[in-house]
Structure 1
Amino acid sequence: MKKFILSVAAALVSTFTFAQDWVLDKAHANVSFTIVHLKISEVDGNFGKFDAKMTSSKEDFSDAVFEFTAEASSINTGNERRDGHLRSDDYFGAEKFPTLSFKSTSVKKVSGNNYQIVGNLTMRGVTKPITLNATFRGPIEGRQGKKIVGIKATGTVNRVEFGVGKSGAAVDDEVEIKVSGEFSK
Structure 2
Amino acid sequence: MKKVTLFAALFFASVSAFAQNWTLDKAHSNLAFTVTHMMLSEVDGKFQDFDVKMTSAKPDFTDAQIDLTADVNSIYTNQEKRDGHLKSGDFFDAAKYPTLAFKSKSISKVSGNKYKLMGDLTMHGVTKPVTLDAVITGPVTNPQNKKTLAGFKVSGEVKRADFTLGSIPAAVVSDEITIRATGELVKAN
Q: Report how many aligned residue pairs link the two structures.
A: 173
* 2-structure distance, mates of 1:140, 1:159: 37
Aligned to 2:134: 134
Match of 1:26 in 2: 26
Aligned-pair Cα RMSD in Å:
1.6
Cα distance in 2 between the residues matched to 1:133 and 1:38: 27
The 4+ residue runs of structure 1 with deviation greater than 3 A are: 13-17
Q: Which residue type is aligned with residue 149 of structure 1?
A: A
Determine helix, strand or coil for the equivalent of 1:156. strand
Q: Is the 8 A contact 1:160 1:167 kept in 2?
A: no
Q: Which residue of 2 aligns with 1:81?
A: 81
Any stretches of 5+ residues in structure 2 without a counterpart? 1-12
Does residue 155 of structure 2 align to residue 154 of structure 1? Answer: yes
Q: Give how far 1:161 is off.
A: 1.1
Counterpart CA distance in 2 for 1:17 and 1:111 is: 28
Distance 1:83 1:57, change over 3 A: same
**How many angstroms does 1:145 deviate by?**
2.1
Where 1:145 maps in the other structure, the secondary structure is: coil
Q: Give 1:90-169 correspondences, 5 Å limit.
A: 90-142=90-142, 143-166=144-167, 168=169, 169=171
2: CA distance between counterparts of 1:170 and 1:159? 13
Give the partner amino acid of 2:68.
F
- In percent, how many aligned pairs have the same letter? 52
TM-score by length of 2: 0.88
Task: Give distance in 2, aligned partners of 1:144 and 1:177.
Answer: 31
Give 3-state SS (helix, strand or coil) of 1:144's partner.
coil
Rate the CA distance shift 1:38–1:15 in 2: closer, same or farther, 3 A: closer
Equivalent residues of 1:167, 1:173 under 8 A apart: no
Q: Secondary structure at the residue paired with 2:174?
A: strand
TM-score by length of 1: 0.90
Contact 1:20 1:56 in 2 (8 A): yes
1:36-94 Cα distance to aligned partner (Å, 9 max, x none): 00111000000001000111000111100110000111111111111100000110000
Task: Give the letter for the 1:144 counterpart.
Answer: N
Over 3 Å counting, the alpha-carbon distance change for 1:15 and 1:125 in structure 2 is closer
Task: Quote the Cα distance in structure 2 between the aligned partners of 1:183 and 1:25.
Answer: 6
Deviation at 1:15, TM superposition (A): 9.2
**Alignment partners' CA distance in 1, 2:16 and 2:79:** 52
The equivalent residue for 2:71 is 71
